[in-house]
Amino acid sequence: MDDSIETRFQAAIDAGKINGAVICTTDTEGHFVYNKTLGARTLLSGEKVPQRLDDVLFLASATKLITTVAALQCVDEGLLTLTGDLSPVAPELATKQVLTGFSADDAPLLEPAARPITLEMLLSHSSGISYDFANPHIVRWRRKFDPPQETSRRPVEQAFSYPLGFQPGTSWMYGPGLDWAGRIVERVTGRTLGERMQQRIFDPLGITGAQFNPVTRKDLRARLVDLNPHDRDGLGHAVVGGSADMNKRSQGDFGGHGLFMPGADYAKVLHSLLASDGTLLKPSTVDDMFQHHLNQEASMGQQAALAGPLGPFFRVGIDMETKIGHGLGGVITLQNVDGWYGERTMTWGGGLSLAWFIDRKSDLCGICAIQPVLPDFDGGLLAALKQTFRHDIYSKYAAWKEQQQTSKNKAV
């Protein structure tokens, strides 16, 4: 079997491992475009219909990139700074303490934060705010003081009220910093995050099909992939491997995971950043997104995380030999990878089934959203299919460029 997108994805569909996929890729000028749908989605009635480019997808953590843009727009407008103390806007962050462990009698050991949290820290996962699943101490703290309430919806401030996992700016761990960033955007603009994104991101790009959880618009629900017999509430269970309870417990617009939109529309955001066309951000701000934003201590923390149990997830398909850092919006490569990502390529994903990248050096960006089958979720297969997308799209791009060059030579 060859390693092409068409062959590998269709084999997974035929084997009943995935339902379908949406792939959208383009270069800056729109000369190379690969938009592909495979398979079908299942309606609530059980009827199967062909997958379409305008099907509405649960973005999960791919929401973070768009929230990053929203936050940086506030920087461009002078409403926020990257390195300033956020406590005047978010006093809750100023009161957070650092959890260093537990005493012999199970009391939490807490110390004051040594420095204020900044927007740059929130956007680069170096603030100390980490997901509980990524920090055993935070898991223990939540079990003791803040166990999840299945029927209770809570805003960002309450959902992520637990202590910091490390001193701000001294390490790295994936977390809900973008949920806090989204809340800060709301406070400085006086709008909900969804309203602000519609005004400043979606309207300028001609995007009309985006909504934060819960998706209530009838026109979007009719195209919602995650509204099916295995997900009657349209929460996005398949994207995250079987349980999207965070959407069930969220109140308000969560900038770290809550957005739904078509893959073709998400590609418009990727393309605008690839082209640095000035529609969303100042070109200098886009340039800054692709710089390494971790200091030496935080970089060491990131390297430790990459070497840990969650390392394969945090590397998003990049091999161990390639040096990576963190920009504003996702991880970045710090070197060229022969035949693949150029230096300063930014990439991340959403849940276990979505992947995106922006490679400014190679002039290519793309998104791949796979629709897994429930309840027989196959995480290993999804990881392999995302790698097929990441590599085969470069093969297709190289073949297209070779064909273009051949055509030019013949025309001379």
Catalytic residue ranges: 61, 64, 174
Angle, CA of 100, 104 and 105, to the nearest 5°: 105
DSSP state of 267: H
For the beta sheet containing 364-372, the strands, ordered from the edge strand earlier in sequence to the opposite edge, are 48-50, 33-42, 18-26, 364-372, 354-359, 346-350, 331-333, 324-326
Rounded CA gap, 391 and 394, in Å? 5
Phi and psi torsions of 267, nearest 5° = -65, -30
Of the candidates 306, 346, 310, 353, the residue with the CA atom closest to the CA atom of residue 330 = 346
Phi and psi torsions of 191, nearest 5° = -125, 160
State yes or no: cis peptide before 50, omega within 30 of 0. no
Contact (CB, 8 A) for 109 and 92: no
Rounded CA gap, 112 and 255, in Å? 27
Estimate to the nearest angstrom the gap between the alpha carbon of 313 and the chain centroid.
12
Angle, CA of 219, 231 and 53, to the nearest 5°: 45
DSSP state of 150: T
Phi and psi torsions of 245, nearest 5° = -65, -20
Estimate to the nearest angstrom the gap between the alpha carbon of 107 and the chain centroid.
35
HSE at residue 140, side-chain half, CA atoms within 13 A, is: 13
